[in-house]
Amino acid sequence: MKLVFDIGATRLKRGVLDDRGGFVSIDDRLIQGDLQTELKSLIAETIAKYPIGFIGVSFAGQTTDNKISSAPNIDLGELKGADFTEWTRRRFSINGAIDNDLKCAALAEAADRSQVSALFTLYIGTGIGGAYIENGVLIRGANNNAGEIGHIPFEKTPFLCGCGGEDCLESSASGTALRKWRDYYGLQERTLSELNASNEPKAKEVASRFYRGVDRAVRTSAALFNPQAIVLGGGVAVSEKSVLARARAAANNAFRSAVTVELTRLGDKANLLGASMLQG
């Protein structure tokens, strides 16, 4: 059996899969205290109950070569700079692996659409990110950051991106961007569709900016990778139907492309599923 975790900015999701890849259990909690103490106790609790042979982790931050390389808001404890496989072997005598959440999601999406040989995964949730898989090969780049479309330059913003960069796409088209722009303009908490339907010019502008960002993400990924399909996922894309419609319209304008845009069929389980496909 496999034990998998999906580590977000504030939440930690745990799943257990049987040998056929089906979920036996999934639960989720707020991260309290340091990450390694929390992980150690959850792993110990799970292996006491199930015969776990592998531990896979999807991580909402930068990972390189099975190590967490950047996690600005998470207290990592002894996981900082550690090789995750060595850590799980030393602590629990079990093989493990860790990868960036978009890379995990892309592995799961590609497995779910095995007939698509060139697939770009575009997720719009807290952030906006992508990953490209061609003929089963995940394109990683030099530091595992290939496809991170949230950090291409886009329209001017009065605040910095979470990566420290100026005018990143993620500062215009992501859940975090909606929150930052609402705060900046002093708008009350509203969803993307509520902002779009508003009569207030500033609210409408926040939504329009978001949609222009979706256009940019779709047309840029189509031009750079020439995918057969783009699979759209992430909390904002899944909950807001207008994002799929907008992405499909943008795909029709993409460069010499017949790319289709489809919504994820994996809901919020893609990261956990992808974590179970990592190699330890």
Closest separation in Å from C-beta 168 to Zn ion: 3
The nearer residue to Zn ion, 209 or 269, going by C-beta atoms, is 209
The nearer residue to Zn ion, 173 or 207, going by C-beta atoms, is 173
The nearer residue to Zn ion, 165 or 235, going by C-beta atoms, is 165
The nearer residue to Zn ion, 2 or 151, going by C-beta atoms, is 151
Closest separation in Å from C-beta 173 to Zn ion: 12
Question: Which of 2, 67, 113, 151 contacts Zn ion by CB under 5 A?
Answer: 151
Q: Which part of the chain contacts Zn ion (CB under 5 A), choosing from 6-14, 96-104, 156-164, 208-216?
A: 156-164
Instruction: Assess 161 for contact with Zn ion (CB under 5 A).
Output: yes
Q: Which part of the chain contacts Zn ion (CB under 5 A), choosing from 66-74, 122-130, 155-163, 222-230?
A: 155-163
Cα torsion 29, 127, 55, 108: sign: positive
Cβ within 8 Å of residue 131, ≥6 positions away: 102, 103, 105, 106, 120, 121, 138, 139, 146, 147
Residues that contact Zn ion, how many (by CB under 5 A): 5
Instruction: Assess 269 for contact with Zn ion (CB under 5 A).
Output: no
Closest separation in Å from C-beta 163 to Zn ion: 3
Instruction: Assess 163 for contact with Zn ion (CB under 5 A).
Output: yes
Give the interface with Zn ion as residue ranges (CB under 5 A).
Answer: 151, 161, 163, 165, 168
